[in-house]
Amino acid sequence: MRELINEILSLVAPKLQSLGFEEGTWERLVGPSTVSGSLSDVAMPCHSLSPAMRKSPLDIATEISSEISDCLEGIADVSSLNGFVNFSATESWLSTRVENLAPDSRLGVSLDDQRVIAVDYSAPNVAKEMHVGHLRSTVIGDAIVRMLEFKGHIVHRENHVGDWGTPFGMLIEHLLDIGEGEVAGEKGISDFDLFYKQARTKFDENPEFAERARSRVVKLQSEEEETLRLWNVLVNVSTNYFNEVYSMLGVLLTDEDLMGESAYRHLLPNVVDRLTEIGILENSDGADVVFLGGNWVNRDGEPFPVMIRKADGGFNYSTSDLACIIDRVERLGCDDLLYVVGTPQKQHFEMVFEVAKRSGFMNQEHRAVHVNFGSVLDSDGQMLKSRKGQNVKLVDLLREAVTRAELSISEKNPDLSGDERKNVARMIGIGAVKYSDLSSDRTKDYVFDWDRMLSFEGNTAPYLQYAHARICSIFSRSGIGRESTLGTRIQLNTPEERALAKTLVTFPEAVDYSTAGLYPHRLCTHLHSIASSFASFYEVCHVLDEDDEVKSSRLAMCDLTARALSLGLGLLGIDCPERM
């Protein structure tokens, strides 16, 4: 309703000024109505004006209401209640807004001033399985990328895979033990958990192996040719596997976006040099660290440092993240750095960002944000595990989603078969998993529940997808083309049509609100209210058996609704089938 608010503000300003309301004292009071129902769309509480005006809020509201209602003729109906001035959009204002939306492929969503933004997300580890933990980062990050791109920004997807470090000594030696041929080419590693665990066990229990692993780390770090080649075998097998998962999930990540830890290894000494030059690096117990002071203390109450170089000369992830910041700011020219990483790493990012600011790696113009998210829990509130108590493999989870969706649709719509059924099952199953993740506040933990996410009722992907499919069905059954609705006069004769129109007209602000805060669930909430108001509309407002004017108006509303759902779900990385 921000457009209505803007119109109200500009139209009533002269009148209020003549009534003695000083400029700057009342404008911010005008906002979206907080009361449910059809009482009003926009409201202005007058209570805070009471002392200065030396009148009761009720009197002020009544006076304003009667004085300004003429200024808003045809735009909003004005009334007052309980000291609030209430503005209710007129049918003609609403229908004009809907008509203006129709020809716009962006459905009214504007472009922002362009920024260059790096979004760091997914980040699985080479030679390790992808678990549910990676699901949230991948799904949330991908939605944020899509939303930011749609708003006109230049987005660099950054998949900061864990492809470097001491574990690779044992992993490479284990690879040699089982034979390179066993994992080469198409074969791949069938069980990454097992592969990693076997390497780990040998490292812990077999001194000879541990020694080989340690010397292999040295060779890797000195970039010995054969060792790098073996390392690459592991990297390739893993990234092929990641790509399979990404393709199943339907996310944007490709090999182009891979920018693993190894890519920054040559920059690490540079980080140390620059920190030394600035003079904030200190030696503590043999390690090079930065002390930030403030509230950062360890469990003994002593200053807690950012570890830059360990006592053994090795680097760890703070250094790598600082190198990343330098690279993204200086090479890619990023304005914003977003990190879609779990909440437990909050303190880490706060400290790294602080070091980067103090060291001049970022300046006031740069915005670094830890886009944090909570854990995935089961219905008992525990971290989600498989029946055997293992971490749930992401591929298994995705396969189960599709299987469950296919089961559900073959029950509900036996007409769908073959490839179409498979395809629809994929869209519904994957969409359900993504949507259930995206639809609640990412910063909180969320409860994973198959039955709820795959339900056709409630705030779920299938419910939104079904609304979309119903609309497609109207057009395909009637043989009327979607484009024929362009330029149609909109009539909003029933409460259901008006309610639907309001959700469509406020779609752009929902997208903006969601994108600005990097909170996909805000868009989900709005899409659900579109689908829900459409369902009510659909129940009451027949389309095809009406006379021409009503019919074409309603067809246009249907078309817009479908486009809003499809565009909105698209921004979340979710497909909508035309039949389901």
Partner RNA sequence: GCCCCCGUAGCUCAGUCUGGACAGAGCAUCGGACUUCUAUUCCGCUGGCCGCAGGUUCGAAUCCUGCCGGGGGUGCCA
Q: How far is the CB of 474 from RNA (least distance, A)?
A: 4
Q: Is residue 136 a contact point for RNA (CB under 7 A)?
A: no
Q: Is residue 81 a contact point for RNA (CB under 7 A)?
A: yes
- C-alpha dist (Å) from residue 576 to 298, 430, 534: 50, 11, 16
Residues 348-367 that bind RNA (CB under 7 A): 348
Distance separating alpha carbons of residues 385 and 393, to the nearest angstrom: 9
Return the range that interacts with RNA (CB under 7 A); candidates 96-104, 230-238, 249-257, 339-347.
339-347
Strand duo 42-45 + 84-89: pairing: antiparallel
- First-to-last alpha carbon distance for the chain, in angstroms, is 33
Does an H or E element contain 194, and which? Answer: helix 192-205
Tokens 């209602």 sit on residue: 69
Q: Is residue 492 a contact point for RNA (CB under 7 A)?
A: no
Distance separating alpha carbons of residues 419 and 490, to the nearest angstrom: 38
Near RNA by CB under 7 A: residue from 300, 365, 547, 548: 300
Q: Is residue 92 a contact point for RNA (CB under 7 A)?
A: no
Q: Is residue 84 a contact point for RNA (CB under 7 A)?
A: yes
Backbone angles phi, psi at 385, to 5 degrees: -135, 160
Q: Is residue 498 a contact point for RNA (CB under 7 A)?
A: no
DSSP 460-514: SHHHHHHHHHHHHHHHHHHT--GGGGTTPPP---SHHHHHHHHHHHTHHHHHHHH
Using alpha carbons, select from 335, 330, 325 the residue that is nearest to residue 364: 335
Near RNA by CB under 7 A: residue from 22, 23, 225, 285: 285
Return the range that interacts with RNA (CB under 7 A); candidates 199-207, 220-228, 247-255, 538-546.
538-546
Which one-letter amino acid corresponds to residue 338? L
- C-alpha dist (Å) from residue 324 to 164, 222, 310, 316, 332: 14, 21, 19, 13, 10
Q: Is residue 407 a contact point for RNA (CB under 7 A)?
A: no
Q: Is residue 88 a contact point for RNA (CB under 7 A)?
A: no
Provide the β-strand partners of residue 157.
119
Kindly tell me which of 219 and 348 has the beta carbon lying closer to RNA: 348
The torsion of the CA quartet 443, 449, 453, 456, rounded to 10 degrees, works out to -140
- Print burial letters for 446-458: b (CB count within 10 Å at least 16), e (below 16): bebeeeebbbbee
Near RNA by CB under 7 A: residue from 2, 15, 47, 482: 47
Tokens 């970039």 sit on residue: 223
Near RNA by CB under 7 A: residue from 459, 488, 515, 566: 459
Near RNA by CB under 7 A: residue from 198, 236, 243, 440: 440
Near RNA by CB under 7 A: residue from 413, 482, 509, 550: 413
Q: Is residue 580 a contact point for RNA (CB under 7 A)?
A: yes
Q: How far is the CB of 274 from RNA (least distance, A)?
A: 19
Q: Is residue 286 a contact point for RNA (CB under 7 A)?
A: yes
Q: How far is the CB of 241 from RNA (least distance, A)?
A: 18
Q: How far is the CB of 1 from RNA (least distance, A)?
A: 12
Q: How far is the CB of 159 from RNA (least distance, A)?
A: 13
Near RNA by CB under 7 A: residue from 152, 269, 333, 344: 344
Q: How far is the CB of 291 from RNA (least distance, A)?
A: 8
Q: Is residue 458 a contact point for RNA (CB under 7 A)?
A: yes
Q: How far is the CB of 262 from RNA (least distance, A)?
A: 11
Q: Is residue 267 a contact point for RNA (CB under 7 A)?
A: no
Kindly tell me which of 347 and 390 has the beta carbon lying closer to RNA: 347
Kindly tell me which of 100 and 473 has the beta carbon lying closer to RNA: 473
Q: How far is the CB of 198 from RNA (least distance, A)?
A: 19
Distance separating alpha carbons of residues 259 and 337, to the nearest angstrom: 14
Q: How far is the CB of 534 from RNA (least distance, A)?
A: 8
| Rg, C-alpha atoms of the chain | 29
Using alpha carbons, select from 515, 339, 400, 346 the residue that is nearest to residue 132: 400
DSSP 181: G
Q: Is residue 55 a contact point for RNA (CB under 7 A)?
A: no
Q: How far is the CB of 575 from RNA (least distance, A)?
A: 15
Q: Is residue 450 a contact point for RNA (CB under 7 A)?
A: no
DSSP 363-384: -TT-EEEEEEE--EE-TTSSBP
Q: Is residue 105 a contact point for RNA (CB under 7 A)?
A: no
Kindly tell me which of 50 and 198 has the beta carbon lying closer to RNA: 50
- Longest CA–CA span in the chain (Å) reads 91
Near RNA by CB under 7 A: residue from 104, 191, 457, 549: 457
Q: Is residue 117 a contact point for RNA (CB under 7 A)?
A: no
**What residues contact 317, with CB distance under 8 A and at least 6 apart?**
261, 348
**What residues contact 100, with CB distance under 8 A and at least 6 apart?**
108
Q: How far is the CB of 189 from RNA (least distance, A)?
A: 20
> Residue 437: left if φ>0, alpha if ψ -120 to 50, beta else—which one?
alpha
Does an H or E element contain 119, and which? Answer: strand 116-120
Kindly tell me which of 439 and 485 has the beta carbon lying closer to RNA: 439
Residues 15-34 that bind RNA (CB under 7 A): 29, 33-34
Q: How far is the CB of 270 from RNA (least distance, A)?
A: 18
Tokens 């998993």 sit on residue: 433
Residues 317-336 that bind RNA (CB under 7 A): 317, 320
Kindly tell me which of 155 and 543 has the beta carbon lying closer to RNA: 543
Near RNA by CB under 7 A: residue from 224, 240, 303, 332: 303
Q: How far is the CB of 305 from RNA (least distance, A)?
A: 4
Q: Is residue 495 a contact point for RNA (CB under 7 A)?
A: no
- C-alpha dist (Å) from residue 54 to 60, 79, 82, 194, 428: 9, 21, 17, 77, 60
Kindly tell me which of 96 and 372 has the beta carbon lying closer to RNA: 372
Extract the tokens encoding 285.
Answer: 């117990």
Residues 183-242 that bind RNA (CB under 7 A): none
Return the range that interacts with RNA (CB under 7 A); candidates 18-26, 129-137, 298-306, 329-337.
298-306
